[in-house]
Structure 1
Amino acid sequence: MADNCSITAKAGGSSKGYEQAVSSNIKGSLQEVESDLPEDIRDHALHVFQAAVMDHSNVGDAIKRVQTEALSKIDERFKGERYKGFIKFDYDTSVVEIKVNKFGNGNSQFSSGIGVKKMVCPDPFMGRLSDPNMNKR
């Protein structure tokens, strides 16, 4: 029997963090929405994402709902045109960004990014954020 490839043998570990992030639920309130989508599509995507959060859907399901229910309208709006856009939802503990890349031939590509915010308490004596990793080299 052949030996396992030393490069790809441990490749599954890098996706474990992504799988945990996608299967988690969003907690906290919406802080900010940043987007370059047309206003009506942006508002619909925001409504769909907030509804998914209220239904206690996990992050992966919420992203999928936004892609199918709201961002699919970009195909109709920009038919035969190239379009790139994004929407970013900034919550208390996490940030979710969904990107759309529509090509002129009608194909669309969606991608998403999920991040966890690390909250740092301000240091009342120093007057700035007290982050122990700030000055590490």
Structure 2
Amino acid sequence: MEVTVYTTEIPSWLSAAAAGLAAGDIDAWLDAFTDDGVHEFPFAEQGAPERLEGKEAMRAYMSELPKYIRFGSFHDVTVRETSDGVVIEADGHHWDAVTGDPYAMRYVWVITRRDGRVAVLRDYMGPRRPRPEES
């Protein structure tokens, strides 16, 4: 399998989906997935879901996120294309929805695509790290 680093920008199809999710438009996020799409969290905390199968399971999970997170921006992005998907590494700069405290979180997404949509998203999130408020 040939792997090519092709950008330091999150692909437009994923960026648009993430922007929709940040704005509370869960359908914009789900539109990026196949109907039978899977969103996995291999490093999920105990008691948290490790696998969401299908759009309705993803909708239920994603609709709870605004209680916990205010999405910000992604920095230090590296994108590697594979024959059937993409691997993305990024630092997310977000805010705690309850306290308003800023934090950083490192992500690695291993995404398998089918027919131009996400079939499987393996979402490896690191722990929250404090960060100073950006000016």
Verify same fold: TM over 0.5.
Answer: no
TM-score by length of 2: 0.33
Structure with the larger RCO, 1 or 2 (CA within 8 Å, 6+ apart): 2
Higher percent of residues as strand: 2
TM-score by length of 1: 0.32
